[in-house]
Amino acid sequence: MRCFLVLFLVLPLAAADPKLIERGKYLVENVAMCADCHTPKTEKGELDRNKWMKGAVLDFQPLGAAPPNWKKTTPDLTAGSRLWVKWGELSMLKYLTTGLTPKGEPSAPPMPAYKFSRTDAEAVLEYLKSLK
């Protein structure tokens, strides 16, 4: 019993590895560019730091006809958002490593189908969990 208690106390702390969060931040902001689509812009057209990764209305679409399932909005990706509550961390992990939603389907455009390595996907998730 005592052993279980210790595990419960230690595991969440161990998960929030600052290096992993830093790597996730780098992937989200500089490699996969999630923030560009999932953060609203200010009137000046800059990404709004106060609404970081909180979901946005996209300000672009294809020059020609957009595919019929083209989405104009993106969901809030910060932990605690409706999406996290609905999917849970395991489905998020599966999604980032396979590009498939819990229903086993890809998302609608322009959401890219990412196939991160498990470590990179975990880094992205740890970063998202570190956001308020």
- Residues forming contacts to ligand HEC in the complex (CB under 6 A) are 28, 32-34, 36-38, 71, 74-75, 77, 83, 95-96, 101, 107-108, 110-112, 114, 124
User: Could you tell me which residues come within 8 angstroms of residue 26 by beta carbon, excluding any fewer than 6 positions away?
Assistant: none
Q: For residues 10 and 102, which CB has a smaller minimum distance to ligand HEC in the complex?
A: 102
What are the distances in angstroms from CA 108 to CA 38, 73, 114?
A: 14, 11, 13
CB 56 within 8 A of CB 76: no
Q: For residues 10 and 33, which CB has a smaller minimum distance to ligand HEC in the complex?
A: 33
Q: For residues 15 and 94, which CB has a smaller minimum distance to ligand HEC in the complex?
A: 94
In the complex, what is the shortest distance from the CB of residue 15 to ligand HEC, in angstroms, rounded to a whole number?
A: 18
What is d(CA 122, CA 132) in angstroms, rounded to the nearest whole number?
A: 18
